[in-house]
Amino acid sequence: MLIKKPDDIRSSEITPERDYVDRRKFLALAGVAAVGVAGTSRLLSVLRPAPAQPGDDKPNTWEEITNYNNYYEFGTDKDDPAANSQHFRTRPWTVRVDGLVKKPADYHFEDLVKPYKVQDRTYRFRCVEAWSMVIPWNGIPLAEMIQRFEPLPSAKYVRFETIYAPDQMPGQKGNVLPWPYVEGLRMDEAMHPLTLMVTGLYGKTLPNQDGAPLRLIVPWKYGFKGIKAITKISFVDKQPRNTWNIAAPDEYGFYANVNPEVDHPRWTQASERRIGQFRRIKTLMFNGYADQVAHLYAGMDLRKNF
C-alpha cells in the first residue's frame, strides 16, 4: 500500500536536521521523503507542494522538536522534559504483551524491534494546545508488530501503558495525572498503515524527552494519544479508559481525532500555530489525513465521540 502524506505538507515545512546524514537521508530538496517498507518492498511517497500561503513557514529545528514537549512524567512546562529526562534509563527495557493474544510474553526491546526494518515517515504532529510541528519519525508499523503477537478475534482494542518509575520521573511523584499513563486504540486504528511505533527521530535514537525508547504516533489524532516509554501492550475486548479522559472527561475523549469543528473548552481547535512561527494556520480535519482515515469513523457522531 502506498502511504500518502497530506497534500498541504510542503517540503519547505519538513523539519531540518543538519546531522541527518545516514543512509535514510531526507530527499526534501527533491520533494520526496522515504517512507516505508511493506514486507520487503521499499516505497516512496511524494510530498506534493501546497498552494502558496501568506507568511514565512519557518522550518522546525532539532532543538524545537527536542525542547518543546508535553511529557508530564518529567514536568508540566514545555522545557521540563529536556531538562529532567537526561538520566532516564532506557536500557535494559522490557515490554509486556498480554491479554487476548496467542503469543503473550515479556519482550526485551531489542528482540521486540529487530525483526522489522525501520521506516522513515514525515508526519504532521498536532498537539491539543493548538500548536503543531512536522517531524521525521523513524519506526515500525504497529500493524506488523501486532500481527506477530497473533491477537484473538475477541480483541477489539489495544491498551498501552507507560513505565511507572517515580525515582526517574519526577512528575510521577505528584498527582497532576493518575499514573502510570494509559492510552488505547480501537483495533482497526492500531492496524492502520499510518500508525507507527516510533524508535527514532531523524535517523537517530529517540531522545528521552520525545518518548524513548518506544512511543506511539497516530498522526490523525492529537498528540496526547502518542503514549511514550511504553512498557505494556494489552489486547482487550472493551474500550480502555485513557489517562486524560479519566483526569478530565469533559475535555478529553477516547478518540482524540483532530476535528477543527470541536473546540477544547478552553481554546479553539479551528487554527494552530507551527512551532517557530507566529502566524496561525487553519487546522485540517483529521490533521490532514482525512483521505486515508475518514472511513474508520463513517456513521459516527464525531462531536459525541471526540
Q: Is residue 82 part of a domain?
A: no
pLDDT of residue 131: 93
Q: What domain range includes position 134?
A: 88-297
264 assigned to some structural domain: yes
Mean pLDDT, residues 214-241: 98
Work out how many domains the chain is built from and give that number. Answer: 1
List of E strands, the chain? 32-38, 41-46, 94-99, 105-108, 119-126, 131-141, 157-162, 182-186, 196-201, 204-205, 215-217, 230-236, 271-274, 280-282
Which tens digit of pLDDT belongs to each residue from 249-272? 999 999 999 999 999 999 999 999
User: Could you tell me the CATH number of the domain that includes residue 249?
Assistant: 3.90.420.10
> Residue 240 and residue 253: Cα distance in Å, rounded?
11
pTM: 0.85
pLDDT in tens, 137-184: 999 999 999 999 999 999 999 999 999 999 999 999 999 999 999 999
Q: Is residue 20 part of a domain?
A: no
* pLDDT tens per residue across span 26-59: 333 333 333 333 333 332 232 332 322 333 445 5
In a domain, 165, yes or no: yes
* 64 lies in some domain: no
- Residue 199: pLDDT band by 50, 70, 90 thresholds? very high
pLDDT, position 271: 95
Specify if 68 maps to a domain. Answer: no
